[in-house]
Amino acid sequence: MRNMFIGEGVLRSVVSSLEHLPVPAYALNAAGVVIAWNPALARLTGVADIAMIGKGGGAHAFPFLGTTGRLLADLLLDRSLETPRYLSSVEPDGDGLSARFTTELSGERRVLFVRAAPILDRGATIGAVEVVIEPLPDVDDGRDGTHETVARLLRNTRHDIKNELTIVLGYISLARDSVDDPVACVGLHRAVGAAGEIGRLIEFSRELEELGDRPPEARDLGSLIRTAADAADLSGIDHQIAVPQGTVTADPVVFSVLEHLFERLFQYSSASVPRPGAILVGASGADPLIVVYEDDAPHANRGSHPDRAFSRALDSGLAMLREMLSLNGIELSVTPDPLRVELRVAGDRVWMAEK
């Protein structure tokens, strides 16, 4: 006879997953006892997990309220509970609930977004998870104008997307730990990869915004490309980076785009099946400066490439980078079979000083 009570395995999977969730989160069992209090929540509240695990009777609310109480997860476990005044805008969110939570942390009044979801086993609720998301402060820095307003809206939007993505990743992790179907596991693994790519694009857009107001700078192009190559697994691949020695002077945005481009290219080549025998990056000329990336992997065998969006339509996969570069006088062209990526850099926009 099985000694493990119904749902214990599911609860253990939830606890394990929450440990790695980057947003603050905790979990309760059906009796309202704290079974998980992740590191991000410990940092937010200043209360360690050891002080919370195993506590019941509303103890999980103490770090937020200064007293025991009921939070959003409790409303899922007992639908008859009255919504406390510190929770507002409570709305259904899939199987769970979302709300605004007004609290005080470290002596400062905070308004947090919170979401709670039930932990289910065979259709029965055996616990609840709550994640805590701090919204971007609505700060008015006094500057007027359409440009600044749009920039602030973009920052807010990017922040919101990142929060939503974090929640998606958390739920995917929970699902992946709870299913036994190999096909579903593969699909969830790919979903995690896609979410990771979205996260990288979010960070890339943030970086570009921060670089937008900086003056031109000088960097070694060969060093930039070699650093990008080091980020990929090129074991067994003969890779040559034959770029003339010297510093390239350009807008910082150009270097950010080039770093992203070459990291993506090296990773794309290294993950091809079969792998290329050689990768060559070369540069020639001065006005324009022509930089070429090539590998010798058969194009026809790239269909199973893990970066499907990049391999299915390589040219369109570079559309955003092409647009960014074109604003700085750099033309980007792609020949897919064999792979050849060519950058033509106008001398009046980017110039090289020989060593």
Provide the pLDDT for residue 106: 74
Of 134, 164, 189, the residue that ends a domain is 134
CA–CA distance, 139 with 161 (Å, rounded to integer): 19
DSSP string, 117-140: EEEEETTEEEEEEEEEEPPPP---
The answer on pLDDT for 29 being more than 70 is: yes
The answer on pLDDT for 1 being more than 50 is: no
- Tens-digit pLDDT profile for residues 59-116: 999 999 999 999 999 999 998 899 999 998 888 877 788 888 988 887 788 888 888 9
Q: Shortest CA distance to 101 belongs to which of 126, 135, 77?
A: 135
Of 165, 187, 211, the residue that ends a domain is 211
- How many domains, in total, are found in the chain? 3
198 plus 71 within the same structural domain: no
CATH number of the domain at 25, please.
3.30.450.20
99 plus 158 within the same structural domain: no
Provide the pLDDT for residue 136: 44
**Structural domain that includes position 160:** 136-211
Average pLDDT score over residue span 203-227? 74
Of 134, 163, 179, the residue that ends a domain is 134
- C-beta neighbour count of 205 within 10 angstroms: 16
38 is written with which tokens?
A: 């992740």
Residues in the chain: 355
List residues bridging with 295 in a β-sheet.
279
201 plus 309 within the same structural domain: no
74 plus 35 within the same structural domain: yes
CA–CA distance, 65 with 87 (Å, rounded to integer): 12
224 plus 339 within the same structural domain: yes
121 plus 173 within the same structural domain: no
Q: Give the helix ranges, DSSP H, for the chain.
A: 8-19, 39-45, 62-65, 72-77, 146-178, 182-211, 221-230, 252-270, 308-312, 314-317, 319-326
- Tens-digit pLDDT profile for residues 184-212: 766 766 676 666 666 666 666 665 565 55
185 Cβ neighbours under 8 A, 6+ residues apart: 176, 179
255 plus 145 within the same structural domain: no
Q: What is the end-to-end Cα distance of the chain in Å, rounded?
A: 76
The answer on pLDDT for 53 being more than 80 is: yes
CATH number of the domain at 332, please.
3.30.565.10
| CA distances from residue 11 to 5, 34, 181, 225, 278 in whole angstroms, order as listed | 11, 11, 19, 46, 49
| CA distances from residue 139 to 135, 143, 152, 155, 202 in whole angstroms, order as listed | 12, 11, 9, 11, 21
Please give the backbone phi and psi of residue 334, each rounded to the nearest 5 degrees, phi first: -130, 130
CA–CA distance, 190 with 185 (Å, rounded to integer): 9
176 plus 289 within the same structural domain: no
Provide the pLDDT for residue 28: 93
Provide the pLDDT for residue 140: 44
28 plus 115 within the same structural domain: yes
Q: In percent, how much of the chain has pLDDT > 70?
A: 67
- Tens-digit pLDDT profile for residues 231-273: 888 999 999 998 877 777 777 878 888 888 898 889 888 888 7
232 is written with which tokens?
A: 């990929």
68 plus 118 within the same structural domain: yes
334 plus 227 within the same structural domain: yes
The answer on pLDDT for 297 being more than 80 is: yes
What is the reported pTM? 0.47
350 Cβ neighbours under 8 A, 6+ residues apart: 248, 249, 250, 254, 289, 328, 329, 330
Largest CA-CA distance found in the chain, in angstroms, rounded: 79
151 plus 130 within the same structural domain: no
